[in-house]
Amino acid sequence: MILTRIDVRGRPPQDLAGILPRPGAPGRDVRDQVAAIIERVRAGGDRALLELGEELDGVALDRLAVPATEVAAALGRIPVALRGALETAHANIEAYHAFEPPPPGDYERDGVRVRHLVRPVRRAGCYAPGGRARYPSTVLMCAVPARVAGVEEVVLCVPPDRSGRVDDATLAAAAIAGVDEVYALGGAQAIAAMAYGTESVAPVDVIVGPGNLYVAEAKRQVSGAVGVAAAFAGPSEVVVVAGPRTPARYAAIDLAVQAEHGPDGLAWLLTWSEDQADAVCEELTRIVAASPRRTDLEATLGAGGFVCLVDDVAQAIAVSNVVAPEHLELLFDGAEALLGDVRAAGAVFCGPYAPASLGDYVAGPNHVLPTNRTARFASALRTDDFRRHMHAVSVERGALELLGPSVEILAATEGLPAHAASIELRRTQPVAAGEVR
């Protein structure tokens, strides 16, 4: 049995949170180590980054920045089919993020006009995992919405391989997405470098991108010194809801899809059919045994793999809302009719032909999603994560007569006489139109 079996049949919704296993506090086990890394980077700059790269990754580098010529040359070194796939993904991701609704128009009431101003951050830092695998798709998912948002400078940190190089597929994705700077730099030290700056890496305004526990904890610790998207984008998660007629091979492969990212992730199967639970587990056992990533699959499924028997599809959705997964797959016909009941998920995939892997690459919406139950309050990465919203207020002379007395009363109530005086002064000593220049 690869998956731990849980049976919640007959249990009321209010009991589910107490029955279902909870993930541990994210970053708890690495908090002190991450804090030490961040402090070393803040104090030592590039020297500390190079030392940490050798100590933690076994890579001795003499420079951190990947030359722009090397990034551009990668486009010619990758297979033509891979370049075409990256360009297809780029086009779909760009189209979706450009579709995100613009801010509403100006607001006017009682002589007060409020304009909604949107300004992109000047410099965004993107992190793409590396080492265990390469993720050119994550480069696109992070850099494209930054570009769509109008960010002036986009930089990328990605761990190098043992030879000190960043692989060509990742560099090609950076070239296609228009990344300005690439650094062969990973882990908590990459997050610290982007947050505080070093001799080689100028600090950024926002950091985005998924990573392991060290990366996620580092983002948590530097939040406030730099903007960090609300989601805890850590190890991968999926909840697969399979009905009695869902092909067991579909459900099993989709559990393996997220589990093959490596340890610390979660893979849940929810079903109201014992026969389906057995069939999916049998199929998953076969997939794991034949996979070249067998070790990663066994580690993830052994610690974070569950099959949960429920009464019906309604209870399956209730369980999923407690788990609040990064990916939720509803692998049955008519799934869209249940979307109104889904309260917490990073992304939902509806029907047997909508695997999460499509969302990972070419569907268009972002695959940087909230994990560790942060989908209760956080969202997918979007263009707004790279923007600031301001409001500009314009006031007609007559609006002071209408609204000013309320300001004066409230200011007096709060013991702030200058607030009240700023209104009274303008009401009693107005200036002529056009006099103030």
The Cα–Cα gap between 55 and 9 comes to 50
The residue whose two tokens read 């002036």 is: 152
User: Which pLDDT does position 336 carry in this prediction?
Assistant: 95
Taking domain 28-110+118-229, whether its CATH number is 3.40.50.2300 is answered by no
Query: Where do we find the tokens 């951050």?
Result: 121
Annotate 279-327 with DSSP letters as a single string.
HHHHHHHHHHHH-TTHHHHHHHHHHHEEEEE-SSHHHHHHHHHHH--SE
HSE at residue 191, side-chain half, CA atoms within 13 A, is 31
Which amino acid is present at 101?
Answer: P
CATH 3.40.50.1980 placement within the chain: 4-22+234-364, 28-110+118-229
HSE value, Cβ hemisphere, 13 Å, CA-based, for 156? 36
Dihedral in degrees, nearest 10, Cα atoms 324, 330, 331, 336: -170
DSSP state of 332: S
The pLDDT of residue 27? 58
Per-residue pLDDT of the chain (437 residues; tens, 9 = 90+): 579 999 999 999 999 999 998 776 555 678 999 999 999 999 999 999 999 999 998 999 999 999 999 999 999 999 999 999 999 999 999 999 999 777 677 889 989 999 999 999 999 999 999 866 789 999 999 999 999 999 999 999 999 998 899 999 999 999 999 999 999 999 999 999 999 999 999 999 999 998 888 998 999 999 999 999 865 666 789 999 999 999 999 999 999 998 887 777 899 999 999 999 999 999 999 999 999 989 888 988 998 999 999 999 999 999 999 999 999 999 999 999 999 999 999 999 999 999 999 999 999 999 999 988 889 999 999 999 999 999 999 999 899 999 999 999 999 999 999 999 999 999 999 888 777 77
pTM reported for the whole predicted model: 0.89
Residues annotated as part of the active site = 326-327
pLDDT the model gives residue 24 = 64
Q: Residue 345's closest CA among 362, 329, 333?
A: 329
Fold of 4-22+234-364: Rossmann fold (3.40.50)
- Cα–Cα distance for residue pair 236/259, rounded to 1 Å: 7
Structure token pair of residue 53: 């790269």
pLDDT at 264: 76
